[in-house]
Amino acid sequence: MTSTLTISNLTKDFGGVKALSEVSMHVAPGERVALLGHNGAGKSTMMKVILGLIAADSGEVSVCGAAPGDADARSKVAYLPENAMFHSALTGLEQISYYMRLRGEDSAGAMALLDKVGLGAAAKRRIGTYSKGMRQRVGLAQALIGHPRLLVLDEPTSGLDPVSRRDFYELLDALAAEGAAILLSSHALTEVEARTDRLLILSRGRMVAEGSLAELRRDAALPVAMHITAINGYDADILAAIPNAIRVNDAVHVTCSQDEKLATLAQVAAMKGKIADIEVIPPSLEDIYSHFSRRDGQ
Amino acid sequence: MIARILATAIIELHIARRNLWVVIAVGLMVVFSLVLSAVGSAPIGELGADRLSVTVASLTSLSVYLVPLVALLMSFDAVAGEAERGTLPLLLTYPVARWEVLAGKLLAHCAILIIALVAGYGAAAAIAIVNDPAAMSGIGALWRLTWTSSLLGATFLGIGYALSSLARRTSGAAGLAIGLWLGSVVLYDLALLAAVVADNGGSFTKNVFPAALLANPADAFRLFNLTASQAGGVAVGIGGAAGTIPQWQSLMSILLWPVFALWLASAAFRKVEP
């Protein structure tokens, strides 16, 4: 299947500082891709290049078969900026009606759209009176106008409460099911872990990792931790039996590599009469993320 | 294209109405027009011109200052304000051309300006006609003043958008706008007058001075209205030069300036990187 968004060897320089260097990636129709990275890693710059707001220094970008920023590309791409801002004197309804007219859609559907993001009751109030979360929903509503083929969402869930976040991802799932490609950046790692198909990690303008969470976990090969609670008095036996075990408070902590995981578990299982409980803790997304970001020298 | 321009104009009208720009513009024009028409009615007996023509001559002098000021006040925020609020990047990802955004803003701001002009001039004209039924003969001059004022307004709206694009920040844009206003409608004329006095009828007065007047949209506006007006004699200062410059030249300046200003605005806006 042809990709909705294809980037190859993208480089962007801001006064000698490389914001993006040799970045390549793609997003297929219906795919939800999360873009991770520190502040200043180049996420927003990459999004602005995709949207045609700033020009790349070199490399190729194709958005729905067109150059970024082309009228054709813009008509198929929706954008939700980080901290979506609107004119405070306008009502939510006026603002969304305006955006619908700009996209050539009938503005009669504006109210339905605001209802969809839970702003129906506040639609006729000025945006100046909205909370941050409500403004973010106006931003989300405008990103849903028409049937965008590509959604570029810059930290879309910042400022949203947990219930709104879940609703938001349900809306995204529905769009993806219709074939929209979604590229979103986020700092909420646990959230994107469950809700996206693929992760991209940017560090200092370079793509340092790409793949599904399982693939990244395998590539990172981070150690697995086990927390063992011994039956009274047996912890000395366990410490003796497992060479790299250490005592932490009342528990015994064991750390081993992915390859040694099963062997270590077998050792633990052999002492099952002496163990009250065992917890196996795989490396978290935060650990994997830090691993790839730090490898680059951060 | 038309739909997108109209949509932008509608949203700008909403904003201007809520920000009280409509009220402020109309209020300014009405108050100043009424004050001037009261003051300007004094010389009527000596000149023998109808009362409305005299009022129009006074209004011309007023509009030279007020119309550019109101236009710049409405426009300095147009691009810099959007950039500062953070609404510009999102807007520019929409399938709308930058010139369409400016055209929409221009349409709304021109509409407000025309409402203010009609209210202000209308009030002054109504008083003139009530006091002197013969004043109806000056209605042509009033009409001429109204459409030239609208074009003068469009020129300074365009220049305001250009400054707004160049400044990127509203504080900077406001400073540039006030500076430009002072320069073009106050200092420019003072400098020309000083040069004419110093030149004492030399080549500057004959060659450079008329061209310098035509190059300034505010002076061209004043020249055109005073040349056309039967009551040109009440005008002082720069207006004295009105007789020496053919009317078609000032008309050309009035017509070309809005086009040039809007080209300038759209060129400056194109360079803005959000």
Judged by CB atoms closer than 8 Å, whether chains meet at A89 and B92 is answered as no
> Which residue among A78, A101, A126 places its CB closest to the CB of B4?
A101
> For residue B98, what is the nearest residue in chain A, using CA coordinates?
A71
> Which residue among A74, A83, A87 places its CB closest to the CB of B93?
A74
Judged by CB atoms closer than 8 Å, whether chains meet at B95 and A99 is answered as no
Q: Cα separation of B197 and B191, whole Å?
A: 10
Q: Cα separation of B92 and B85, whole Å?
A: 14
Q: Does any CB of chain B come closer than 8 Å to the CB of residue A130? A: no
Question: What is the pLDDT confidence band of residue B243, given thresholds at 50, 70 and 90?
Answer: low
Please write the tens of the pLDDT for every residue from B63-100.
Answer: 999 999 999 999 999 999 999 998 999 999 999 999 99
Please write the tens of the pLDDT for every residue from A54-109.
Answer: 888 898 999 998 888 888 899 999 999 988 899 999 999 999 999 999 999 998 99
Could you tell me how many CB contacts below 8 A there are between chain A and chain B?
70
Reply yes or no on whether the pLDDT at A267 is more than 90: no
Please write the tens of the pLDDT for every residue from A77-88.
Answer: 999 998 889 999
Judged by CB atoms closer than 8 Å, whether chains meet at A74 and B89 is answered as no
Question: In this structure, is the dihedral angle defined by the CA atoms of residues B93, B79, A97 and B112, taken in order, positive or negative?
Answer: negative
User: How far A107 CA sits from the closest chain B CA (Å)?
Assistant: 10
Reply yes or no on whether the pLDDT at B45 is more than 80: no
pLDDT at A238: 83
**Do β-strands A181-185 and A150-154 pair in parallel, antiparallel, or remain unpaired?**
parallel
Do residues B7 and B104 make contact, with C-beta atoms less than 8 angstroms apart?
yes
Q: Does any CB of chain B come closer than 8 Å to the CB of residue A84? A: yes
pLDDT at B81: 92
pLDDT at A268: 84
Reply yes or no on whether the pLDDT at A297 is more than 70: no
> For residue B20, what is the nearest residue in chain A, using CA coordinates?
A89
- Owner of token pair 């803003």: B105
Judged by CB atoms closer than 8 Å, whether chains meet at A53 and B89 is answered as yes
Question: What is the pLDDT confidence band of residue B235, given thresholds at 50, 70 and 90?
Answer: very low
Q: Cα separation of A102 and B76, whole Å?
A: 24
- Owner of token pair 């945006």: A127
Judged by CB atoms closer than 8 Å, whether chains meet at B85 and A85 is answered as yes
**Do β-strands A17-27 and A5-14 pair in parallel, antiparallel, or remain unpaired?**
antiparallel
Do residues B11 and A101 make contact, with C-beta atoms less than 8 angstroms apart?
no
Q: Best residue in B13, B85, B94, B99 to probe A by mutation, most A CBs within 10 Å?
A: B94
Do residues B7 and A101 make contact, with C-beta atoms less than 8 angstroms apart?
yes
DSSP annotation of B240 reads G
**Closest to B265 measured CA to CA, from B193, B188, B177:** B177
Q: Cα separation of A117 and A124, whole Å?
A: 15
Do residues A221 and A257 make contact, with C-beta atoms less than 8 angstroms apart?
yes
User: How far A94 CA sits from the closest chain B CA (Å)?
Assistant: 7
> Which residue among B8, B10, B274 places its CB closest to the CB of A53?
B274
- Taking a contact as any Cβ pair under 8 Å apart, which residues of chain A between 1 and 60 contact chain B? 48, 51-54
Q: Cα separation of B53 and B229, whole Å?
A: 7
Reply yes or no on whether the pLDDT at A240 is more than 80: yes
**Closest to A176 measured CA to CA, from A137, A142, A155, A150:** A150
- Owner of token pair 């299982």: A269
Judged by CB atoms closer than 8 Å, whether chains meet at A90 and B10 is answered as no
Judged by CB atoms closer than 8 Å, whether chains meet at B97 and A71 is answered as yes
**Closest to B219 measured CA to CA, from B251, B189, B177:** B189
Secondary structure, 3-state, chain A: CCCCEEEEEEEEEECCEEEEEEEEEEECCCCEEEEEECCCCCHHHHHHHHHCCCCCCEEEEEECCECCCCHHHHHHEEEECCCCCCCCCCEHHHHHHHHHHHCCCCHHHHHHHHHHCCCHHHCCCEHHHCCHHHHHHHHHHHHCCCCCCEEEEECCCCCCCHHHHHHHHHHHHHHHHCCCEEEEECCCHHHHHHHCCEEEEEECCEEEEEECHHHHHHHHCCCEEEEEEECCCCHHHHHHHCCCEEEECCEEEEEECCCCHHHHHHHHHHCHHHEEEEEEECCCHHHHHHHHHHHCCC
Please write the tens of the pLDDT for every residue from A273-295.
Answer: 888 888 888 888 888 888 888 76
Return the structure tokens found at A248. Answer: 């932490």
Reply yes or no on whether the pLDDT at B47 is more than 60: no
- Report phi then psi at A196, rounded to 5: -130, 160
pLDDT at B38: 75
> Which residue among B7, B89, B93 places its CB closest to the CB of A101?
B7
Do residues B89 and B274 make contact, with C-beta atoms less than 8 angstroms apart?
yes
Q: Is the pTM of this model over 0.90?
A: no
Return the structure tokens found at B188. Answer: 């420019």
Reply yes or no on whether the pLDDT at A269 is more than 80: yes
Please name the amino acid found at residue A233.
G
> For residue B16, what is the nearest residue in chain A, using CA coordinates?
A89
Q: Which residues contact B58 (CB under 8 A, 6 or more apart)?
A: B36, B37, B39, B40, B234
pLDDT at B240: 57
Q: How far is CA A234 from CA A226, A231, A249, in A?
A: 17, 6, 14
Question: What is the pLDDT confidence band of residue A47, given thresholds at 50, 70 and 90?
Answer: very high
Contacts with B14 from chain A: Cβ below 8 Å: 89-90, 94
Contacts with A74 from chain B: Cβ below 8 Å: 93-95
pLDDT at B232: 47
User: How far A173 CA sits from the closest chain B CA (Å)?
Assistant: 23
Q: Best residue in B1, B93, B99, B269 to probe A by mutation, most A CBs within 10 Å?
A: B93
User: How far A65 CA sits from the closest chain B CA (Å)?
Assistant: 16
